[in-house]
Amino acid sequence: MRYPLRTLLRSPGFTAVALLTLALGIGANTAIFSFVNGVLLKPLPYGDPHRIVMVWEKPPGGLRNGISTLNFLDWKNQNTVFAHMAARRGDSVTLTGSGDPVQLGATLVSAPYFDIFGLHAALGRTFATDEDQLGKSDVVVLGNRMWRTRFGGDPRIIGRKLVLDGKPCTVIGVLPAGSFDRSRSELWLPLAFEPHDMTRDYHWFVALALLKPGVTLEKARAEMDAIGARIAAAYPDSNKGWGVFVERFEDQVVGQQLRRSLYVLLAAVGAILLIGCANLANLTLARGTAREREIAVRAALGAGRWRLIQHLLAEILLVALAGGSLGLALGYSMMVGLKRLLPRFYLPVEADVSFDLNILLFTLAVSVLTAVLFGLAPAIHATRVDLATSMREGSRGSTGGARARLRNALIVTEVALAFILLSGAGLLMGSFFRLLHVDPGSKARM
C-alpha cells in the first residue's frame, strides 16, 4: 500500500476531490443508517418485546379506539392469553411543597404495567398488585431523569412524601435510566378506577398486555374477538357493533409513515453516493488514460493484467477507506445535528439512535463497495493496453473507443440517478404540502 499512497500524494487534486466526494456520500449514508438502525433494526429495549401487544376497542366502521372501564375489566377477567394486562392514561400533576409549584408530565397505569415491559426499579420497587385499588394508590414511582434533576439523585428519596395535586404520595421507587426517560412523563402513578368510571360508554384509556409464552398474536386476536362478541351481545345499548383490536406494540411504536420516510431517505442518500461513485469512476478513467504509458511500461516489464488491476484497485481501496473514515466522522456530526433539529417526540422514545458496531460495519461495507463500484471498471479498462502503440509518445492507444463508451455510460447513469432524486424530491414536497391542508375530521370517540 506504500506505493499507492505515494502515487495519491503526487495527485493532490484527484485525491482531494475523491476524499471530499466519498466523505459526503458515505457520511450521509452513515447518518441516515444510524436512524434506520436505531428506529427499525434494534429490538425494543424491553425484556421480551415480541410478546408485548396493545389492546383497543374497535368501533363500528373503525379500527382502534380508547377503552371503557367495564369492558377492560371484563377483558382482564375473561382472557386466557395474557400473562399481564394493564390500563394506561397520560395526565399531568402539580408538585407543591418543594419550592414553587411545578406541573409535571405523569402516566397513570395499572399495577402490572411495569411487569409487561420486564422493568425493575433501579431504586426501591414498582407497584404492588393491589396498589391500583382505591385507598391504596397514594404511591408514586419516579423516572430516573426526574430523580437526578429535581432531587439530585438522592438515594434516600424512597419513603419521601411528595404533594401531587394536593394529595400526599409516598415515593416507592425510581426507574432505571433508559427509554422511559425520553417520554413525556416524569413520574408514574397507579390508575385507580373511581365509582363514576364504572361505565361502558366512556372510552378514556388504552391497554397493554403481555402474551403468555407460546401464545401467538392470531390466537390472542381470536380469543379477544370472542370475548368482544359476548360483551356486545350482553350489552347491546353500549357495545353493539363494537369489538376488540389487538396489535403488536412494535407496530404501534414505529408507524408506517415514519418507517416509509426512513427507507425513502436511505434510498435517497444511496442514490447520492452512486452519483458520487459515477463521478469518481469518470475521474479514475481519465486518470487511467493519463497513466497509460506507465501501465504499458509495467506490462512490458512482465506485470500480468491481474497484477496491474490489483495495483490500481489498491489505490482506489486506499481512497475509499480514507474517505470512509472521514465519512464516519462527518456522519456522526450529521446524526447529532439531525437529532437536535428533530422535534423532541418525533422519534419513538424507544429509539436509540447512536453509533455502535452495526454503524461501523455498515460504514466499512459501504467504503469497500464504493471502491469496487468506482474502481473496478476503470481498472479493467486501464489495463487493456497495446504495448506497441502505448509506448509511442502522444499516442492515444487503442482503447479510446471503449473508454468513451464507458464514460458515456457513467454520464447516463449519473443523469438517470439525478432525475430519480429530483422526481422523488418533487413528489415528497407535493405530499408534504397536501398534508398541511388535510382536514383531520372529527375527533375519535374517547
User: Which contiguous run of DSSP H or E holds residue 189?
Assistant: strand 187-190
Taking the complete model, does pTM exceed 0.85, yes or no? no
How far is Cα 93 from Cα 67, in angstroms, rounded to an integer?
Answer: 22
- CA separation for the pair 370, 374 (Å, rounded): 6
Domain boundaries, the chain: 2-44+255-436, 60-241
What is the chain's length? 446
Tell me the per-residue pLDDT of 159-187, one tens digit each, with 9 for 90 and over: 999 999 999 999 999 999 988 998 889 99
* 22 half-sphere exposure, CB direction, 13 A CA radius: 31
Its sign, for the CA torsion 199, 201, 183, 36, is positive
Name the helix (H) or strand (E) containing 182. none
3-state secondary structure of 129: coil
- pLDDT given for residue 260 in this prediction: 84
What pLDDT does 394 receive?
A: 46
* Residue 343 backbone phi and psi in degrees, to 5: -55, 150
| Residues of the chain below pLDDT 70 | 286-293, 296, 300, 304-305, 377-446
Q: Where are the alpha helices (DSSP H) in 291-356?
A: 292-300, 305-341
Q: What is the pLDDT of residues 70-86, one digit of tens each?
A: 999 999 999 999 999 99
Assigned C-alpha cell, 92:
399531568
**What is residue 85's predicted lDDT score, i.e. its pLDDT?**
98
Asked if residues 243 and 58 have their Cβ atoms less than 8 Å apart, the reply is: yes
Question: Are 102 and 95 spatial neighbours (Cβ–Cβ below 8 Å)?
Answer: yes
Q: Which three cell numbers stand for residue 16?
A: 482531494
**Is residue 24 a contact partner of residue 215, using CB atoms and an 8 Å limit?**
no
